[in-house]
Amino acid sequence: MKIPTILRIYLSVYLVTLILICGYFLFFTDAYRLIRDERVNAAVVFSDGWTDDKGQTVDLEEVNTREYGGVATFTKMLPPSIKPNDEFCFITTNSNVTVWIDDVLSYEFIAQENITGMGYGKAYHTVNLGSLDEGKEITVRLVAVFKSGTGGRIVKIRLCEAPVFRLSVLKGSFIPFILSIFIMVSGILIIILRQGIPKNQKLPYNLVALGASLTIAGVWLIGDTAVFQVMLGHVRFWRGIEYLLLLFSITPTLSFALSFVKKQRGIFVHTTFLMPFAVLCIMLFTRFVLGIDMSRYGFVVYIAYGLTLALMIVIVVDNEIYCRKNNISPNLRSFYIGGGAFLIGAVIDICIVAATYKNKVIPSRGYFMRIGITVLVITMIIRITRWWSNERSTIARDRFINKILQYSLASSDADVKLNLVMEYLGRELNADRAYVFEEVANGVFDNTYEWCKKDVSSQIHNLKGLPYKGVVDSWYEEYKKNNSVLIYDIEEYKNVSLNMYNVIKPQGINTLITAPLEVNGRYIGFFGVDNPPVDTMNEIREILRLLAYFISQLLQEKQYENKLVYYSYYDSLTGVRNRRAITEFESEELDASKPYGFIMCDVNGLKIMNDTLGHEAGDVLLTDVAKSLVKAFGNTNVYRVGGDEFAIYDCESDKTAFFEKVALAREYISNLGRSVSLGCVYEENGNPDYEAAKTEADKIMYVEKQKYYEGRHDRRRV
């Protein structure tokens, strides 16, 4: 069921405390020093004022070896004062570098071949300086690692301590780096979360695929910031990550997309698994068999990414078309929001790279794409959290309903089942009362079943004859709109229906939920609970909605049982009691020690009427006689014991009154133009041998019948 209010308060306090602690460590300890450290801001920018081998003054962070045929040399004078521990720090991309100070070789970096070829992306360099180097000429020679001479650059040149330079690199990429870490960690956590969910539980998405794609994308984005290259110096490792790792995100990304479509298509499934491997094989074949550097055909990777994006759009559009055609809700709002943010961010980044690529290197690409992926992660986490919460509520509701079903099997008596269900419903929902109202007559409702909490007064005997017009009709109209009635405050409901307010207010009701009971499209009543906790009312409404059909069926079962009982003890033609009923009356209810009267009644002329006018006319004759007997002796005292025979027990204490009823019965029958033969016996002092009384009455009735049919000797002919 729903999380208790006090537990939610505790959880909220816990989360706020956790956020405050994390914020303290992040912003008020040395973890934040890379932003607050004044040395980072004081680092000397040493990129402008360089002279190339053509004598032109350039900004070294804006040059490309392509402009110099693949080899370029630059010189500049070191400042007249150099701080202790200062170093010449810089980052290069895809170039070999040599540094001289006054023609003395001070540093040399020669790129080594890696899995992608000679390109290495970004590498971090430091050249030691000292006071003896003040005012000397420093020369930097760049040689592009590619035969085409393109791609060689220097990025971020500073004169400062090496740790300060690393901090400055981290500071410049702080937000992209943190977003990348968040994406990677989110992917790992989603995979861990999946392991904690039972394997047989149906999930809305392929969480492993989602987690894997986010983890891979996060690692790739971390490498793109160059933070770890600067911090750890792992150049070749991150170069392989940059070119090849993201290929392996294609399959889980598309698998995730396929997990929420309503109709799987084979072409999508095959493409999902074959495309990244096909691209990888092409790249490895070209690299190791043909000996071509991967940088020459890196566009193949981007084509693969573009095809992946296009295929995902096709999958989503195809799913949308299928859902609309079959009137199915795709339920992808969260994905559309997150996916849209990712696409917008990616497009913005592509435009930025295209606009600035020829001029300088973007230190960290994909800034807006990271924001888009972060939005996607957040929306999916929210969606998963909501699903998990709903799933837990669904499981709780299923257990609740299963328990109700168990109660329904606890007895073969529908009355017992309904009372057990009301008790369980009231106790589990923490309500004061649980009840059922049935329409017992046209426009009249009675409270037929009820459970009350201890110390709560029962209302079942007070709530009889509730009228439909002006009272229940207001709820029936609400049922048609919302399938339930929720009252959060009885005083506010006074303005909605004053008549219903006057009915329920005296019962001490403050909150209330009811739902309709329906059979074959017709309302037959309603059921509900009084004074449930306000914070659980929406969930209780869903439970009542699910139970409405079940309780309606129990009421139908009760009606079937009543009909079976009726037909077991009542004659279907005349409506009076039958032979089984008189047998049970004699053995269980008749007190033969007290005065009673017994009458045997035989209908005259039934056979002749059946033969001449038909059995329908004979049936009318029998019903006329039965109605007359009931009118005189009451419905519970008349029994049909044979085809044309009725028996009557009358526990009248006065003999005269008994025979007055007999005379009245004859009059009623005669007024209808019917004729009967009666045998009447009155046991003034009682007679435990009621069979003897019945025999005597039968003899008297036979004598009277013979008088009626004087001259006829075969009773079967009449």
Query: In terms of domains, do 234 and 352 share one?
Result: yes
Model confidence at 629: pLDDT above 90: yes
User: Do 552 and 599 belong together in one domain?
Assistant: no
Residue 138's pLDDT is 95
Asked if pLDDT for residue 360 goes beyond 90, the answer is no
What is the distance between the alpha carbons of residues 183 and 206, in angstroms, rounded to a whole number? 17
Q: What is the b/e burial string over 487-525, where b = at least 16 CB atoms within 10 angstroms of the residue's CB?
A: beebeebeeebeebbebbeebebbbbbbbbbbeeeebbb
Instruction: Name the domain count of the chain.
Output: 5
Query: What would the mean pLDDT of 279-294 be, rounded to a whole number?
Result: 86
User: Would 51 be classed as within a structural domain?
Assistant: yes
Instruction: State the CB neighbour count (10 A cutoff) for residue 240.
Output: 15
* Predicted pLDDT of residue 679: 94
CATH value at residue 560 = 3.30.450.40
**CATH number of the domain bearing residue 117:** 2.60.120.260
589 and 609 together in one domain: yes
Q: What pLDDT does 2 receive?
A: 45
Mean pLDDT within 314-326 = 86
Q: Is residue 163 domain-shared with residue 144, that is, in the same domain?
A: yes
**Residue 57's pLDDT band (boundaries 50, 70, 90)?**
very high
Residue 119: helix, strand or coil by DSSP? coil
Residues 67 and 22 in one domain: no
Residues 598 and 676 in one domain: yes
> Do 501 and 547 sit in the same domain of this protein?
yes
Instruction: Say which DSSP state 336 is in.
Output: H
Report the distance separating Cα 628 and Cα 624, nearest Å: 6
CB 635 within 8 A of CB 576: yes
SS3 at position 551: helix
Q: Does residue 205 sit in the same domain as residue 297?
A: yes
Residue 591 · residue 653 · CB < 8 Å: no
For residue 410, give the H/E element and its range.
none
Could you tell me where the DSSP H helices lie in 113-226? 162-172, 174-196, 207-224
pTM score > 0.85 for this model?
Answer: no
pLDDT confidence tier of residue 647, bands split at 50, 70 and 90:
very high
d(CA 245, CA 239): 10
What confidence tens digit (pLDDT) does each residue in 490-534 have?
998 888 888 888 888 888 899 999 999 998 888 999 999 999 988
Return the closest-CA partner of residue 229 out of 91, 321, 347: 91
Q: How many beta carbons lie within 10 A of that of residue 223, not counting itself?
A: 23
End residue of a domain, out of 377, 394, 425: 377
Strand, coil or helix: what is 117?
strand
Q: Quick check: is 383 in a domain?
A: no
Is 337 a domain residue? yes
Is 66 in the same domain as 127?
yes
Question: Which region among 99-103, 217-221, 346-350 has the lowest average model confidence (pLDDT)?
Answer: 346-350
Question: Is residue 226 predicted with pLDDT exceeding 90?
Answer: no
Helix axes 266-288, 299-325, angle to 10 degrees: 180
> Read out DSSP for 641-709?
-SSSEEEEEE--S-HHHHHHHHHHHHHHHHHTT--EEEEEEEETT--S-HHHHHHHHHHHHHHHHHHHT
pLDDT value for 1: 39
For 229-238, 391-400, 552-561, 701-710, which range has the lowest pLDDT when averaged over its residues? 391-400
Q: Let me know if residue 233 belongs to a domain.
A: yes
Regarding whether 157 and 190 lie in a shared domain, the answer is: no
Tell me, what CATH number does 661's domain have?
Answer: 3.30.70.270
Of the pLDDT bands very low, low, confident and very high (cuts 50, 70, 90), residue 712 is low
Helix spans in 326-428 (H)? 333-356, 367-408, 414-428
β partners of residue 551 = none
Joined tokens for residue 164: 């300060």
Domain termination residue (choose one: 529, 564, 599): 564
Clarify whether residues 231 and 247 are in a common domain.
yes
Alpha-carbon distances of 324 from 89, 541, 570, rounded to whole Å: 60, 30, 57
DSSP type of residue 4: P
Q: Lowest-pLDDT range, 224-233, 269-278, 493-502?
A: 224-233
Long-range contacts of range 472-481, CB-CB < 8 Å, 24 or more positions apart? 472/437, 472/445, 472/500, 472/526, 474/499, 474/500, 475/500, 475/514, 475/516, 475/526, 476/516, 476/523, 479/515, 479/516, 479/523, 479/526
Closest CA to 412 of 298, 564, 546: 564
* Least confident range of 183-187, 294-298, 427-431: 294-298
In a domain, 399, yes or no: no
pLDDT > 50? residue 288: yes
Instruction: Confirm whether 392 is domain-assigned.
Output: no
194-221 confidence digits (pLDDT tens):
887 777 667 777 888 888 989 988 888 8
Same domain flag for 113 and 239? no
Reported as a pLDDT band with limits 50, 70 and 90, residue 299 is confident
In a domain, 388, yes or no: no
Q: Residue 538 pLDDT more than 70?
A: yes
Mean pLDDT across 82-86 = 87
Residue 362 scores a pLDDT above 60: no
632 — pLDDT class (breaks 50, 70, 90): very high
Phi (first) and psi of residue 184, to 5 degrees:
-65, -50
Q: Does any domain span residue 401?
A: no
CA 436 to CA 449: how far, in whole Å?
5
**Which pLDDT score, from 0 to 100, does residue 717 have?**
41
Q: Which domain holds residue 713?
A: 579-717
pLDDT in tens, 474-493: 999 999 988 899 999 899 88
